[in-house]
Structure 1
Amino acid sequence: MVTVLLLVGVLVAIFVGYNVGGATTGPAFGPAVGADAISKSWAAALMTVFFFIGAWTIGRRVVDTLGTELVHDPGVFTLEASIGVLFFIGLALFVGNFFGVPASTSMTAVGAIAGLGLAGEELNWAVMGEIAIWWIVAPFIGFWVSLIIGRYFYAYLNQRVAMERSVGPLLRVDRSRVIPVPVPSATTSRRELGGVTTVIAIGCLMAFSSGTSNIANAIAPLVGSGALEMNPAIVIGCLAVGIGTFTIARRTLETMGNDLTELPLTAAIVVATVSATLVTFLSWIGIPASFVVIATMSIIGLGWGRATRPLTVSEAVRGKQQTTVSVGALAADKVGEELPPIGKENPATIPRASDLFDPSTTARIILMQNLVPVIATLGAYLTFRFVPIFGI
């Protein structure tokens, strides 16, 4: 009987990992795919590899937090309860993936485990409070760091990084050598190659940070129950994530790469670097982090900082001129142009024609970002509270 339950638990964990891959690939490689810098298949492959590296190194810290510290008594993670928790995590994430929205896997997993803890009166409110505080603080850190970069450094970064994509493929295969190797196409400039390489490298960093935080969402209940050892659980979870990156992740790649926003390359690099750094730091201290929320606040902060460049600090504080966060605000600095000092820039040089977010897509994402964790939390609580089979 235990063997059958363990098999069911592993299958449900694979289902969760599959949906984690679908939910996290879009935020990591959406900008690169949207810019035609990399194909969806290559994005899936890189996501799988770097997710595994992050999971194997730092990710086990978050597994410990969710599997043994979020509840007072890890014994509440019976094999039956672990299967139930994983089921609600996977179900909620599947709802988000079905609608093409990259839901917060960490918030969903914490919600499901918290539902179990509440039902069994074993929830560690101190740990839950620490996680909740970081969920509030981290996005604001991302916002302010990005705002400072947008106001004081973005224009100079854009001078070095911004580029125009050439027509045709970025690389071609040179078959004249003993071993065929990819080389830049004739229309590809060195600047373009360097910029595209950078945005792909940033995607790999984001995949690594995702592994550090999100592997726990698929395996923490089984590890906490003692049904699986840490190392084989990580391998199983990462294989499941890889399956998700090659299949259902195509929906979220489309949403994050094309529907939601058209971030310039420089902005995508800044947002990804700030967000991935924060998520990796939080994983290092054992806090499951919401990459999507942090990245969204980083985008807003970056655009807001860039839009306030025509104002001095005192004018911005007094609200002398209303600013609009837009793609134009993030893309206004042209390569080769002399940069005016802050407070002296002509506001007319910052276009406001296109909004940063597509309204309908943004509304759908905000709705699902809040609905998915609620589904997991309420579903887990009601099930563990009122279904006797789980025996808690």
Structure 2
Amino acid sequence: MTSIPLLLLVGVAVAAFVGFNIGGSNTGVAFGPAVGSGAVSKIGAGVLMTVFAFLGGWTVGRRVVTTLGSNLVVGDPFTLPVSIGVLFFIGGALFVSNVFGVPASTSMTAVGAIVGLGLARDALATDLVLEIVSWWIVAPLVAFWVSGVVGRYAYDAIDERLALGSAEGSMLAVDRSGTVPTPRLDDDTTRREATGVVLVVGIACFMAFSAGASNVANAVAPLVGSGQLSMNAGILLAAGTIGVGALTIARRTLDTMGEGLTELPLAAALVVAVVSASLVTALSAIGIPASFVVIATMSTVGLGWGRATRAEGELLVEADDVVEGMTEPDVAVDDLYRPWATLRVVVLQNAVPAVATVGAYLLFSVW
């Protein structure tokens, strides 16, 4: 019986830690609206997250694993100790972001750590790095403007058509009368609510797919690049540990996201989800490590900005046509778009990957 080297076990453990944390944080982002509206239970969200994150990693995510594990640095730099060092930077970024309460991008941090390695070894694939960085600039801007247009011109219609509020408990029940338990809608759920359930859960699954496509590489790309794990084994490891995180620590983020739906209405959450997941999946398909966190943040800001400009326009119209007993809109402009808060989040989201780049460069320069 062949023994597994202790150092490889350490590497697998660190990769599992990264995947576990990815599952914990991404499940809340993907399924928070679905759980908060009662469309699915926490356990159901964890199971769906596991399945669709695996599908995203197994299909589209392979290209991102190849980019991070083989193409960013010329030659064969990923020895097992180096792989563990890079993974520690990624896991450290997750820890720091949780401590400060700012969602850092694991994709940007992973690229930053590998870029630091490439600079230290004078083996960086500069053209590829510039291509990735250019997409990091373009994609959030696209998310901002698309969401801004939706917020200004289409949000009210979407909100009115969706009209799905929170329910007491899950709208889905399990029919155990047959040989195999099957999900079904609760008896009290109306047809309109049923349509809303399908829409909300479907979009959440799409987000889980995009999370798997972009984040599987962050957990295992260095180990796959070093040849210590095969591509299939790496994806299975990452998807499995993401699933463990989704079924355990994600319960807290699901609670947070569900309670936070008063600040981000369900319709707004779904707009952000569709825009962000579409961009992330498209970039992953061409092998670009994409930051769901940054893209979703800019989508949220863009949607709020679009709604705020519409609210400002309504205020100006009312100011020119004074009517006795006139009242202001229900939502204040400052509640929709906060420039300084936005600046703080964006700066911190980019600071963590920068620290990872500098730290990795210093470490691997002397290693």
The TM-score bracket by the shorter chain reads 0.7 to 0.9
Q: Following the alignment from structure 2 to structure 1, what is the Cα–Cα distance between the partners of residues 299 and 157?
A: 18
Report the counterpart of residue 24 of structure 1 in structure 2. Answer: 26
Cα offset for 1:375?
4.1
TM-score by length of 1: 0.81
Q: 1:100 to 1:252 in 2, by over 3 A?
A: farther
Contact 2:211 2:292 in 1 (8 A): yes
SS of 2:335's equivalent?
A: coil
Superposed counterparts of 1:176-191, under 5 Å: 181-191=182-192
Mean CA deviation greater in 127-136 or 156-165: 156-165
**Contact 1:167 / 1:187 at 8 angstroms: preserved in 2?**
no
Identify the residue that residue 263 of structure 1 maps to in structure 2. Answer: 264
Post-superposition shift, 1:244? 1.7
Residue equivalent to 2:320: none
CA distance in 1, matches of 2:265, 2:334: 13
Question: Which residue number in structure 1 is paired with residue 322 of structure 2?
Answer: none
Please report how far the alpha carbon of residue 80 of structure 1 lies from its aligned counterpart in structure 2 after TM superposition.
1.2
Give the aligned partner of residue 275 of structure 2. 274
Give the partner amino acid of 2:21: N
What amino acid sits opposite 1:104 in the alignment?
A: S
Q: Which moved more, 1:228-237 or 1:38-47?
A: 38-47
Checking the alignment, whether the CA contact within 8 Å between 2:32 and 2:255 is kept in structure 1 is: yes
| Two-structure CA RMSD over aligned residues (Å) | 3.2
Q: Which amino acid aligns with 1:240?
A: T
Matched residue, 2:171:
170
Residues 204-215 of structure 1: matches in 2 within 5 Å?
Answer: 204-215=205-216
The corresponding residue for 1:85 is 86
- State, as a whole percentage, how many aligned pairs show the same letter: 59
1:65·1:287 contact (CA, 8 Å) conserved in 2?
yes
Verify the 8 A CA contact 2:33 2:257 in the aligned structure 1.
yes
Question: CA 1:11 to 1:173, structure 2 compared with 1: closer, same or farther past 3 Å?
Answer: closer
Which residue is equivalent to 2:332?
352
Return closer, same or farther for 1:27/1:361 CA change in 2, 3 Å cut-off: farther
Residue 198 (structure 1) aligns with: 199
Tell me the amino acid that sits aligned with residue 205 of structure 2: C
| Structure 1 position 175, deviation (Å) | 5.6
Q: Distance in 2 between matches of 1:257 and 1:51?
A: 21
Check whether the contact 1:260–1:357 (CA below 8 A) recurs between aligned residues: no
TM-score by length of 2: 0.86
1:81-106: CA deviations, max 9, x gaps?
A: 11111111112213324556543110
Unaligned runs of 5+ in 1: 323-345
Alpha-carbon separation, structure 1, partners of 2:239 and 2:86: 19
The answer to whether 1:376 aligns with 2:356 is: yes
> Structure 1 pair 309/6, CA: closer, same or farther in 2 (3 Å)?
same
Contact 1:85 1:113 in 2 (8 A): yes
Residues 155-200 of structure 1 show CA distances to partners (whole Å, capped at 9, x for unaligned) of 2222321233344542444566676654433432221222133112
User: 1:321-360 CA deviation, whole Å, 9 max, x = no partner?
Assistant: 59xxxxxxxxxxxxxxxxxxxxxxx994453187248999
Runs of at least 5 residues in structure 2 that lack an aligned partner in the other structure: 318-325
Q: Do 2:58 and 2:235's aligned partners in 1 also have CA atoms closer than 8 Å?
A: yes
SS in 2 for 1:372: helix
Residue-pair matches, total = 357
Partner of 1:49: 51
- Out of 252-261 and 207-216, give the one that drifted further: 252-261
Question: Post-superposition shift, 1:154?
Answer: 2.2
Q: Is the 8 A contact 1:100 1:255 kept in 2?
A: no
Q: Does the Cα contact within 8 Å between 1:17 and 1:237 map onto a contact in 2?
A: yes
SS at match of 2:164: coil
| CA–CA distance in structure 1, aligned partners of residues 258 and 337 of structure 2 | 12
Q: What one-letter code is carried by the residue in structure 2 that aligns with 1:41?
A: I
What secondary structure is seen at the aligned counterpart in 1 of 2:73? coil
Instruction: Indicate the residue corresponding to 1:149 in structure 2.
Output: 150
